[in-house]
Structure 1
Amino acid sequence: MEKNLNHLEQLRDHILRRIPERRVETIEDAYYFIEEVGFCHLMTDGRDNMPSLYVAVCGRRDVRLPRNVQSDAETSLTWHLKDELARLGAAFYAKQLQNIPTFIALDLVPYFYALYSCSPAFSPQKFSSDAIAIYRSLRRESPQTTAQLKLSSGIEERKRFDKALEELQLAMQVVMSEVRYVPKFTYVWELAAVRFPEQLRKPKRISRQDALRHLITNYLATVRYATARQAQCLFRCSPAETGRALEQLESQSLIRTFAESNTVLLIADEDRLPPRRIDLEKASAW
């Protein structure tokens, strides 16, 4: 088993760009990286068993976030790439996974939407009154800066505004579409269905269980191995839901499971579940 895991770590080095020759240096590199892994956290050190744009920028395994991020070149580049990816709409910027800033490849957005959104259309009864006010304000005018949105929604108290906005982000109803630094720093907010109409205005009819199975498949194809607990916590699903998805993957011989020290280890089959491949035609068009 130890020899097998060492081999899988070497595969991870390539997929997650933890080697100098594959590190992310440009906006094109960042786009290709997200397309290769499907989804990734923005600014983490990779110890949570998730792809990380910051780790890919560093191009090495043993990464630690610096104390002074303002003067760190790798951190600054990661933030710059985040701003550009969001501005270009090259990937969906959200907080779906563990409430951590995350980029999602556009082909996976309908699956995340099926798993996390309240329904195919906005349902006021599913949201707080503050969230409804922000949503309706963006329906009248979108996009808006943070200051504009606070004023137009009538929610100027920062704590209330942030809580309501996060509620809408987690349900994939609102997305940050731009970061502005002049004349002062601000985010720009937009209805997700307006920003990504192809993925969200007429979402595919995907069941919650099918969406979870598809996303776990993508996750394991990327990280190559994980524990059942990690998969469950990552997607915030019940043990029963996660268990059904894993049983289906195992029945299709896409993964193998091993029990070690009261931990169920999931390993992607090297032949039946290869890493994601980039759609070169789509990538060239972008």
Structure 2
Amino acid sequence: MQTIEEAYDFIQKVGICTIFSESVPGIGSFYDAVDLPDRSGGRTKWGARMEAVWEWKIELPTLYPEDIYYGKIKGGHAALMSMRYFKEVHYPKHAYVVSACKPLAQQVYEIVRLSPGTTAEVRREAMERFGCSKSRFDTALKELQISLNIVRLNEPDLKNDTWVPFEEVYGELELGGGQEDDA
């Protein structure tokens, strides 16, 4: 694929893909499917391929919020999914209530619930209030994404990842009650 339209069609066809070349059994890579030059043809030293992947992972769910979901999957891998796959397969299997998350993740969720913000803003508040390290914060934030308790806000003008409670964007879905093994 070489255009954002082809990228859209690819996601609708495969249902789910990781963003980068990562070995997740049974899941292909968006990066591997992009057919653009690796180290040339772009505006930066990254090359046209990496530039397209980086831009499209944000643009696709922003342009097509009813059709494409962006989030983290088990193992912390970033992924794009067709909304059909997300609703029928991923969500029922992987969503669990925040009370099943680790304590720091629950605390970080409360920050996001009361005052949605960018990663840096939420991290700063969590580190000040709970004395956690950046690494522990990052783990908690990842757990909240994997468990489908928070989601990145898909607004066209946002420059940084901004986190909101999952139900604020996808309120029509109901969270499951249990926790997936090794989540």
Match of 1:256 in 2: none
Distance 1:179 1:100 in 2: 22
Matched residue SS, 1:186: coil
Match of 1:168 in 2: 144
1:112 to 79, 90, 93: 90
Distance 1:192 1:70 in 2: 36
Q: By how many angstroms is 1:167 displaced?
A: 1.2
What are the ranges of 5 or more consecutive residues in structure 1 without an aligned counterpart? 1-22, 206-234, 238-286
1:190 to 143, 164, 167: 164
Check conservation: 1:96, 1:170, Cα contact below 8 A.
yes
Matched residue SS, 2:20: coil
Check conservation: 2:94, 2:146, Cα contact below 8 A.
yes
Distance 2:154 2:98 in 1: 26
Q: 1:108 to 1:197 in 2, by over 3 A?
A: farther
Q: 1:173 to 1:54 in 2, by over 3 A?
A: same
Q: By how many angstroms is 1:191 displaced?
A: 1.7
TM-score, normalised by the number of residues in structure 2: 0.74
What are the ranges of 5 or more consecutive residues in structure 2 without an aligned counterpart? none
Q: 1:108 to 1:193 in 2, by over 3 A?
A: farther
Q: 1:37 to 1:97 in 2, by over 3 A?
A: farther
Matched residue SS, 1:95: strand
Match of 2:56 in 1: 81
Q: By how many angstroms is 1:135 displaced?
A: 1.0
1:127 to 92, 95, 101: 101
The within-5 A match list for 1:55-70 is 55-58=32-35, 70=45
Check conservation: 1:40, 1:52, Cα contact below 8 A.
yes
State percent identity of aligned pairs.
23
Q: List per-residue Cα deviations over 1:162-207 (Å, max 9, x = no partner).
A: 011111112111122359999xx73211222212223x2x46x8xx
Matched, 1:146 2:119: yes
Matched residue SS, 2:138: helix
Distance 2:24 2:121 in 1: 38
TM-score, normalised by the number of residues in structure 1: 0.50
- My pick for the range that moved more, 42-51 or 145-154, is 42-51
Match of 1:101 in 2: 78
Could you tell me which amino acid in structure 1 is paired with residue 55 of structure 2? Answer: H
Matched residue SS, 2:143: helix
- My pick for the range that moved more, 154-163 or 100-109, is 154-163
Q: By how many angstroms is 1:129 displaced?
A: 1.9
Could you tell me which amino acid in structure 2 is paired with residue 74 of structure 1? Answer: R
Check conservation: 1:94, 1:169, Cα contact below 8 A.
yes
Matched residue SS, 2:153: strand
Distance 1:197 1:79 in 2: 28
Match of 1:158 in 2: 134
Structure 1 segments of 4+ aligned residues over 4 angstroms from their partners = 45-49, 178-182
1:40 to 17, 26, 30: 17
Check conservation: 2:98, 2:149, Cα contact below 8 A.
no
After superposition, the CA RMSD in angstroms is 3.6
1:30 to 1, 4, 7: 7
Could you tell me which amino acid in structure 2 is paired with residue 25 of structure 1? Answer: T
Check conservation: 1:44, 1:54, Cα contact below 8 A.
yes
Matched residue SS, 2:73: coil
Q: List per-residue Cα deviations over 1:251-272 (Å, max 9, x = no partner).
A: xxxxxxxxxxxxxxxxxxxxxx
Match of 2:110 in 1: 136
Higher helix share: 1
